[in-house]
Amino acid sequence: MKKTVVVLALALGFSITNLNASNNLLTSATSEVTVKKLEVSPLCKAVATGDVELTKTLIDQGADVNAKSNGMSPIHYAAKYNRVELIKILVTAGADVHKTCDLGYTALGHAKKTNAKEAAQFLKRFKKKVSN
């Protein structure tokens, strides 16, 4: 009987030690947090929301139609959200149809990826010229 009590006491002692050891591993503190703020330009916001009048106004005021915002230019946003009328406005204003975003997609690539059929159909008209 005494041997059983001693063995149980030792087993209990080892299990408490193991619990304390694992508890220390779970209480590690994070010392650094990185916050990345994404800023989207007013022109890209207007294109993404489909605001034709604001888009025209911003272009008339000199907004760069090829400037990237959050890795994409305004024509990428227009293609992604199937905004054919805005694609026409941007192309007329000098937007580069073949420019790639930071992920490597062109406007046509974004249209295909998001199943924006009308935008993809319109953008297929702009074949990239192969230079000799």
Walking along the chain (132 residues) 10 residues at a time, the average pLDDT comes out as 69 57 53 72 92 94 91 93 94 92 92 92 79 48
Question: From the CA atom positions of the chain, what is the Rg in Å?
Answer: 29
> Could you give the 3-state DSSP secondary structure of residue 69?
strand
Determine the Cα–Cα distance for residues 73 and 9; give it in Å rounded to an integer.
70
pTM listed for this prediction = 0.69
- Please give the pLDDT value at position 28: 55
Are 47 and 55 spatial neighbours (Cβ–Cβ below 8 Å)?
Answer: yes
- The residue among 94, 86, 98, 107 whose CA lies nearest residue 129 is 98
